[in-house]
Amino acid sequence: MNTYDETFRRVYGARPEGVWAAPGRVNLIGEHTDYNDGLALPVAIPQNTLVAARRRQDGRLRLHSAQADGPVIDLDVDHLTPGTVTTWGAYPAGVVWALREAGHRPGGADLHIESAVPTGAGLSSSAALECAVAFAYNDLYGLGLSASDLALTAQRAENGFAGVPCGAMDQVASACCTSGAALYLDFRTGVHEQVPFAPGTRGLSLLVVDTRVKHDLGDGAYAALRAGCERAARLLGVPALRDLGPADLPRTVSALPADLARLVRHVVTDNARVTEAVAHLRAGRPAALGPILSEGHASLRDDFRISCTESDLVVETALAHGALGARMTGGGFGGSVIVLAREHRTAAIGAAVTAAFRSAGYQAPQLFPVSPAAGARRIA
């Protein structure tokens, strides 16, 4: 018997009807582009959030997490409204709310959650939780929704119920990625493509370095960036920053206040970096992603200004010790850095980063290699 099965029995007094998993993600390139109708290139990671679930007939939604202190959260699905849940429970409750807002009428459930996705590390722990719950509800109540539909439901939960104005990249990556591939996302058209990316087969390693600097996208900084991008688009008379290309930058940057010009420059150049990265992967040149990652980090650091000293130290140290490229990944303000390296250099790079953190007086980072993994699914 699995630990989640045992815990579900202990908490709820019965066995679950099934268990669903959804992964965290790292984004290779294309950051803060999703809410600008842009492009991105994430991969799912092997770390998953698991949800063991059983339907209830009384309209109660009961939530329990192995990672959270406190009693079971007990809610009425007929009275779920934004602002009524302010703890971690807002994410799973928001999914049920979003399903019902979309016209579906699922009932209650007992949910037990166990997660191996680090929280606050820029690896989309909230999206993994939302997608696991969405997939569980889809199967339990026979809703017949596609993976893309469930991803957008999860995004609506985070936007409308949890109050985080994120784009859809994290949820689409968690729901739709496949093993051995990066997911090329076009947020204007909604089209996505699996692009082969299996670094281990080419003697490469993708290393995640969790800086242990926690970020909270609900604290207003993320919303301010999004609002700035939208204001820049309005001033430039375009529907979204996706409508601009690198050739437009000299004209558009000079027409905007400096604080908005920086945001535009990052979004436009990061969309171009996604296009370049996809071309390299299609041509079987994954090592060529290295400089693209490093350029992306410089853009996030200097133009979007969402890096931190710890993330910058990881990038600088990794590159100095032979990494092909490195950049912060995720919404920013802390979190994780991804490092692309030759496999034989990975251990030395990791040791150098750890030593650099020790010398700087920082908490030791957490390091783990990842390979592109499967998206959300039922596992039991």
Distance of CA 185 to the CA centre of its chain: 13
In this structure, the strands spanning 108-115 and 60-65 are parallel
Output the CA–CA distances (angstroms, integers) from residue 314 to 213, 215, 238, 320, 325, in the order listed.
Answer: 12, 17, 37, 10, 11
Catalytic: which of 37, 170, 270, 303? Answer: 170
- 34 catalytic? Reply is no
Look up residue 129 and give its two tokens: 């939780």
Distance CA 299, CA 127 (A): 25
Distance CA 304, CA 349 (A): 27
Q: Identify which of 159, 137, 134 has the alpha carbon closest to the alpha carbon of residue 375.
A: 134
DSSP string, 324-340: SEEEEESSSSS-EEEEE
Distance CA 47, CA 341 (A): 21
Q: Which amino acid is present at 225?
A: L
DSSP string, 144-181: ---HHHHHHHHHHIIIIIS-----SHHHHHHHH--TTE
Distance CA 235, CA 99 (A): 35
Question: Which one-letter DSSP state was computed for residue 77?
Answer: G
Tell me, letter by letter, the H, E, C secondary structure of 176-236: HCCCCEEEEEECCCCCEEEEECCHHHHCEEEEEEECCCCCCHHHCHHHHHHHHHHHHHHHH
- Own/partner contacts of 231-235, CB < 8 Å, gap of 24 or more, are 231/260, 232/256, 232/260, 232/261, 232/263, 232/264, 233/36, 235/260
Look up residue 148 and give its two tokens: 């893309």
Question: Which one-letter DSSP state was computed for residue 361?
Answer: T
Which residues are the active-site residues?
Answer: 170
